[in-house]
Every structure is written in C-alpha cells, then in structure tokens.
Amino acid sequence: MAKNTDSNTYTVLFATGMVLVVGTLLAFLASSLKEKIAENKRIEKQQNILYAMGVNENEDGGLAFVSKENVESEFSKYITKQVVIEGEKVTENNEAYLIDLKKEAEAAKSTSYKRKLPLFIGKKDGKDFYIVPMRGKGLWDAIWGYVALDNQLIVQGVFFDHAGETPGLGSNIKERFFMDDFAGEHILDGDTFKGITAAKGNADPKNETKTDFEVDAIAGATITGDGLSAMLKKDLKMYLPYLKTLKQ
C-alpha cells in the first residue's frame, strides 16, 4: 500500500488506462460478434413477417415463431414476392425485407428523397397476403411491426415489437392477447382511411365489432398505445395508394 492513489497523476493515468482497456474490450467484442448478431436479426425479421401472415407455431395461448432452422425455407415458400414502392414505381426486390425503415424515414425528411417502401406479398392456402412493415415511437424507445392485409384491406394478422417499453405494461404490445385482437379489423370506412386505434374505454372489450377501427388498449400503457395507433395510421397511409389498386 505504498502507492499514493490520491495523487492527480495516478488518477489521470488510472482513468486513461481504464478507458483504454474497457474501450478495447468492448470494441473487440462488438466487432467479433457483429456478424452473428446481424444474422440473428435477419432471421428474426423473416420470423416476424411470417408470423404476421399466420405462419407460426403458436399453441394455445403461447406465441412461437417458425423455428430458426426452418425459417429460411418457410420464408421462400410463403413469401412469393417482395416489392419496393417508390412513388408510382413498383419494383421487385428479393432483399426488400432488409431495407432499414429507420434510415428511410430519416432520409425522407429531405424533400428531394423519395422514400423506398418495402412490401411483402405472401400466399397461404390460396389466399394473398400483403404485409406492410412499419416503425414508430413508443413511450421510451422505438416500436415496430408488420401488418398483414388481404386484398380487401382487412387485417389478417399483425406482429408488433419494441425496443424498451415498460415491462408488464407497454411491453405487452407483443403479447398475443393484444395482437390477436387486430385480426379481422378494417382500416377503411368505405373509401376513407381510418387506421386502427388502441382505444381506452372501448365499448367493445370482446372485440366483436370489426368495423369500429378500434381495439382494446392495454391498461397502464396509454402512451405506448397512442404511439402504436399513430404508427398504424401514418405508415399504412403511405402504402394506401398502392394498396387501393389491389381492391379493384
């Protein structure tokens, strides 16, 4: 204990050393695991898209994606086409699901940029699904999801996820009791776009009316619910010009 740990020189040297050690350690770890993490994220995206169109391994009450091993083959089996919508132009692109919605939204803030809108078209049991990816803001952090519509623009299934909503409250947007309510909901009133709102004091808690443009909100998660409703409205609206052409 002869060392003088109180001197300024020692303190500065210690701080520098610690920053270097910790920084190197974390940078090394992050870059060596980068590829594995990206791969996990890619698999997750495919699982989520498939989940929205009803391809999953759900058993009563539980939520289960297509397994990691099968996801690649199931994805190419059920997702028949991926397109990118840019204004009027619609191009096929097999890597549309890898488009980063966050970066697109950022870039779209400058007026000259035309936002790329990815859309996934799936087919299951002879029925077509149009799966719209979306991204918005919850209470603490980003929320995102996938909404599968049929050609009449009726919701067939959804998947939502979040980066950091309050556990037990806002985090419940990714639970089945919430997501299952969306199936069958309409987003259009005649020709007017309404979206779907997570509503408090909903007169229809059993969710029997599918044309009220509302699902039952989660108690204690008002702001997450509002963010989710806003995300549904905003992002579905961008796809509307294209989606409406399906209806005819």
Partner 1 sequence: MGLLSKKDAKLISDPLADNNPITIQVLGICSALAITAELKASIVMSVAVLFVLGLGNVVISLMRNIIPSKIRIIVQLIVVATLVIIVDLVLKAFAYELSKTLSVFVGLIITNCIIMGRFEAFALANGPWRSFLDGIGNSLGYAVILIIVGFFRELLGSGSLLGFKVLGDPIEKTGVYAFGYENNGFMLLAPMALITVGIIIWVQRSRNEALIEDN
DSSP state, residue 96: G
The CA distance from 134 to 195, in Å, is 13
Cβ proximity to partner 1, 18 vs 98, nearer residue: 18
The pairing of strands 197-199 and 214-216 is parallel
The C-alpha angle 58, 64, 66, rounded to 5 degrees, equals 100
Question: Which segment (104-112, 123-131, 157-165, 229-237) binds partner 1 by CB under 8 A?
Answer: 157-165
28 near partner 1, rule: CB under 8 A:
no
Cβ at position 5, least distance to partner 1 in Å: 5
20 near partner 1, rule: CB under 8 A:
no
The CA distance from 49 to 238, in Å, is 19
Question: Which segment (79-87, 119-127, 147-155, 161-169) binds partner 1 by CB under 8 A?
Answer: 161-169
11 near partner 1, rule: CB under 8 A:
yes
Alpha helix segments (H runs only) across 68-217: 68-78, 101-107, 176-179
Question: Which segment (111-119, 159-167, 187-195, 234-242) binds partner 1 by CB under 8 A?
Answer: 159-167
Number of residues that bind partner 1 (CB under 8 A): 32
1 near partner 1, rule: CB under 8 A:
yes
Write the interaction track for partner 1 spanning residues 164-203; mark x where CB under 8 A is met and - where it is not.
Answer: xxxxxx-x--------------------------------
* Residue 71 backbone phi and psi in degrees, to 5: -60, -40
5 near partner 1, rule: CB under 8 A:
yes
The CA distance from 194 to 192, in Å, is 6
> Percent helix, strand, coil in the chain (nearest 5)?
40, 25, 35
The CA distance from 158 to 54, in Å, is 9
- When binding is defined by CB under 8 A, the residue of 110, 191, 206, 248 that contacts partner 1 is 206
Residues forming the site for partner 1 (CB under 8 A): 1, 3, 5-6, 10-11, 14-15, 18, 22, 25-26, 29-30, 33, 36-37, 40, 43-44, 163-169, 171, 205-206, 219-220
